[in-house]
Structure 1
Amino acid sequence: MARTVVVAGVGPGLGASVAHRFATEGCDVALLARSASYLDGLAAELDGTEGSGLAVPTDLTDESAVREAFAEIREAFGPVDVLVNNASGAAWKGLRDVSVDELDRAWEVGPRGGFLCAQEAVEDMVAGDGGTVVFTGATTSVRGREGAVGFSAAKFAVRGIAESMARELGPEGVHVAHVVIDGQIRPDADVADPEAYLDPDDVAETYWRLAEQNRSAWTLELDLRPHVEEF
């Protein structure tokens, strides 16, 4: 039976790669983001794989919109088995430059949006045979970055949500994992040194393996970085 996968926060980079990876395994993949035109095209691509796609344009900061999105997904595909929380949004500004509205936006898209999606998806997982929730983190999930106070704060919060959920829901069969993306993901455009970037398809492969892990040895957190990075 095909698994129902929700990717919350889908764009041309990692979100699209994750969607393709799961769809090639025969999963039904629901795509959540605000850009309806992009989601429609990506959903059509997924329909050409072993799985299928569903575009669900959604404002992840809107509680009612998220609830309605998951109702649409259940009607089309059934209960949710895998959730990938990939959304983030923040102004790259320091303390003296960032506005309260910009700080609020970072929190609304990342921690709050991930929280809303997780609340919806986890109920299906607990009622069924379990499931997987993956949160996309960043270098700033574990150490703050100069000039990015909003982004850093939001990513720290996402990590805390993931860790708390893992301890609460692991005994109920829900695998919660947090992935620290410790580097830049390669853009679609040509770059001078591709090996200095993380390949989004390779990152997506890691997400698939997390969803496939046996519950006797679940990963809570891992970090991914390009091999040419210096530490």
Structure 2
Amino acid sequence: MTHTAVIAGVGPGLGASLARKFVDEGCQVGLFARSDDYLEELSADLGDDAVAVPTDVTDPAQVEAGFEAVRDAFGPVDVLVNHASGGSWSGLRDISLEEFERAWRTSAYGALLCSREAVDDMLAGDGGTVVFTGATSAVRGRGGAIGFSAAKFAVRGMAESMARELGPEGIHVAHVVIDGGIATPSVRESQPDRDEDEFLDPDAIADSYWHLVEQDRSAWTLELDLRPHVEEF
């Protein structure tokens, strides 16, 4: 079955790996991000089954237009990956109100906007899959990162609520806890002395996301926890 997927929040790390994996599996993919130069480059590399849609996921009008662009190119959406994340690495006494709100808007509010658009398509069709990218901070608040932790806790709650609401309608909602650092190009460059085994391989993570899309309705995963094998927990 050919899927039409939207990956909301595409960068040169896991977002790019997800896009490549989904295209390799026969999907047609809409790529959302604010960085249009990178999106165009990635889209050209992926070929005719990917379309770059520069989109600020915190802007309702841009999200609506972005989904319309994907529908025009490939048809109704039946897979959504809410991958956009707002980094906020300040503690309670140092964080600005603007920084806190930006983290929440990117991770949670943006996911709400994208989910509403995608779910309308899924309900009108034969169901679909919504995957949220979470983090360690979604289950254990990180000291000195109150904005990021609050946003990721919100995302996890959204996923659980949506799974209960939409599961009976044939929509699989899953939350992925990325419990460790991802070996993105920037991380490899900034931490060259660290062992590769200490990081999660973004291509391997993408394989797990695809497994969620392919799962039989009789045995859906709500939460998937991924970590490098050398990590202590």
TM-score for both structures, normalised by structure 1 = 0.97
Q: Which residue of 1 aligns with 2:224?
A: 222
Output the CA distance in 1 between the equivalents of 2:101 and 2:120: 27
Give the superposition deviation at 1:21.
Answer: 0.2
Give the superposition deviation at 1:81.
Answer: 1.0
Q: Which residue of 2 aligns with 1:91?
A: 88
TM-score for both structures, normalised by structure 2 = 0.96
What 5-or-longer segments of structure 1 have no aligned partner? none
Q: Which residue of 1 aligns with 2:197?
A: 195
Q: For each residue in 1:100-149, what CA deviation from the matched residue of structure 2 results, as whole angstroms up to 9, or x when unmatched?
A: 00000001100000000000000101110110000000000011010000
Contact 1:183–1:226 at 8 Å: present in 2 too?
yes
| Percentage of pairs with the same residue | 65
Q: Which residue of 2 aligns with 1:207?
A: 209
Q: How many residues align?
A: 228
Q: Which residue of 2 aligns with 1:14?
A: 14
Q: Which residue of 1 aligns with 2:111?
A: 114
Moved more, 214-223 or 184-193: 184-193
Q: Which residue of 1 aligns with 2:42?
A: 42
Q: Which residue of 1 aligns with 2:69?
A: 72
Output the CA distance in 2 between the equivalents of 1:64 and 1:11: 22
Q: Which residue of 1 aligns with 2:143?
A: 146
Output the CA distance in 1 between the equivalents of 2:109 and 2:60: 9
Q: For each residue in 1:47-72, what CA deviation from the matched residue of structure 2 results, as whole angstroms up to 9, or x when unmatched?
A: 1xxx7110000011100110011011
**After the TM superposition, which segments of 4 or more aligned residues of structure 1 sit over 4 Å from their partners?**
none
Output the CA distance in 1 between the equivalents of 2:92 and 2:66: 35
SS of aligned partner of 1:31 = strand
Q: For each residue in 1:129-186, what CA deviation from the matched residue of structure 2 results, as whole angstroms up to 9, or x when unmatched?
A: 1100000000000110100000000000000000000000000000000000000001
Contact 1:90–1:103 at 8 Å: present in 2 too?
no
Q: Which residue of 1 aligns with 2:79?
A: 82
Give the superposition deviation at 1:3.
Answer: 1.1
What 5-or-longer segments of structure 2 have no aligned partner? none
Give the superposition deviation at 1:187.
Answer: 2.1
Output the CA distance in 1 between the equivalents of 2:21 and 2:141: 31
The residue type equivalent to 1:40 in the other structure is E
The residue type equivalent to 2:201 in the other structure is D
